[in-house]
């Protein structure tokens, strides 16, 4: 699982593919073996002590756990992100999302940007690094995207039964399986997707757990809406470059 500075950098072809399609499967690990294994153990700690929280509700753990900044602010990660949104980078959020065997709910088709509408002036430079804590494949509920839909704008949403899904709204447009690219990832490997792309995941009907760590970044050229109630207590961090949007960043 070892990786190097060279393999972390995105090629010109990879950047062009991401710009056109709104996602990228790199086919390589994000961290060296020892560093990844330490993160794996951090997740296991969270899972054992989650209390009443669902395994998919371990949101923004970095707000309280400084250890995670060793991963979120890692040079190799930021080089990948810079290749897509430029050198002025802020950390928007992170989230351990776990679909437990047999009981992991499906994730409705959605755009992340739709749930953050009004919080930024634009979403054209927001990217998620999705790191496979466990192997991720179609049978255990891996994520899938509809390529090119990051250029469509906000979809129309309707209410659904939240008892069988991770939330209770979903885009009204039908998503056909043949239009979906499924993100089957080896443990420790990662994918990238634009915040505006339509994506979702099936329920985990297998005997294998599926866990990802989402690491979300935005260009600090974007401007945070300080009047939005969702931003009142949400903490965003400076990663690199200039804060050209004059955002309320936390500097570590």
Token pair belonging to 156? 């129309």
Whether 126 contacts 113, CB under 8 Å: yes
Superfamily, domain 5-250:
q2cbj1_9rhob like domain (2.60.120.620)
State pLDDT tens for residues 166-213: 999 999 999 999 999 999 999 999 999 999 999 999 999 999 999 999
**pLDDT category of residue 56 using cuts at 50, 70 and 90:** confident
**pLDDT category of residue 241 using cuts at 50, 70 and 90:** very high
In this predicted structure, the answer to whether residue 3 has a pLDDT above a threshold of 70 is no
Per-residue pLDDT, 111? 97
User: pLDDT exceeding 90 applies to what percent of the chain?
Assistant: 90
Q: Indicate the pTM of the whole model.
A: 0.94
Instruction: Give the integer Cα–Cα distance in Å for 130 and 215.
Output: 6
* Widest distance between CA atoms in the chain: 47
Whether 94 contacts 72, CB under 8 Å: yes
Per-residue pLDDT, 54? 78
Instruction: Give the integer Cα–Cα distance in Å for 129 and 143.
Output: 12
State pLDDT tens for residues 144-170: 999 999 999 999 999 999 888 999 999
State pLDDT tens for residues 64-110: 999 999 999 999 999 999 999 999 999 999 999 999 999 889 999 99
Q: Would you list the domain boundaries of the chain?
A: 5-250
- Give the CA distances from residue 35 to residues 188, 211, 238, in Å, rounded to whole numbers and listed in that order: 10, 17, 22
> What DSSP string describes 70-114?
HHHT-HHHHHHHHHHH-S-EEEEEEEEEEE-TTTBPBEEEE-HHH
């Amino acid at each position: 699982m070892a990786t190097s500075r060279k393999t972390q950098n995105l090629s010109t072809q990879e950047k062009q593919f991401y710009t056109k399609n709104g996602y990228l499967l790199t086919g390589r690990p994000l961290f060296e073996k020892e560093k990844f294994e330490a993160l794996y153990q951090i997740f296991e700690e969270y899972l054992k002590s989650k209390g009443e929280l669902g395994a998919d509700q371990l949101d923004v753990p970095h707000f309280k756990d400084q250890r995670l900044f060793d991963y979120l602010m890692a040079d190799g990660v930021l080089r990948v992100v810079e290749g897509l949104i430029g050198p002025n980078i802020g950390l928007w959020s992170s989230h351990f999302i776990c679909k437990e065997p047999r009981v992991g709910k499906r994730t409705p088709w959605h755009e992340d940007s739709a749930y953050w509408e009004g919080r930024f002036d634009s979403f054209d430079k927001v990217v998620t690094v999705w790191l496979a804590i466990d192997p991720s494949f179609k049978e255990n509920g891996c994520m899938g995207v509809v390529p090119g839909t990051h250029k469509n704008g906000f979809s129309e949403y309707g209410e659904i039964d939240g008892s069988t899904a991770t939330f209770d709204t979903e885009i009204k447009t039908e998503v056909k399986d043949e239009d979906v690219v499924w993100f089957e990832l080896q443990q420790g490997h990662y994918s990238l997707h634009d915040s505006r792309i339509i994506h979702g995941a099936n329920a985990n009907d297998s005997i294998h757990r599926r866990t990802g760590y989402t690491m979300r970044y935005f260009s600090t050229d974007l401007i945070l809406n300080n009047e939005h109630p969702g931003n009142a207590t949400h903490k965003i961090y400076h990663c690199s470059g200039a804060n050209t949007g004059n955002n309320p960043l936390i500097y570590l």
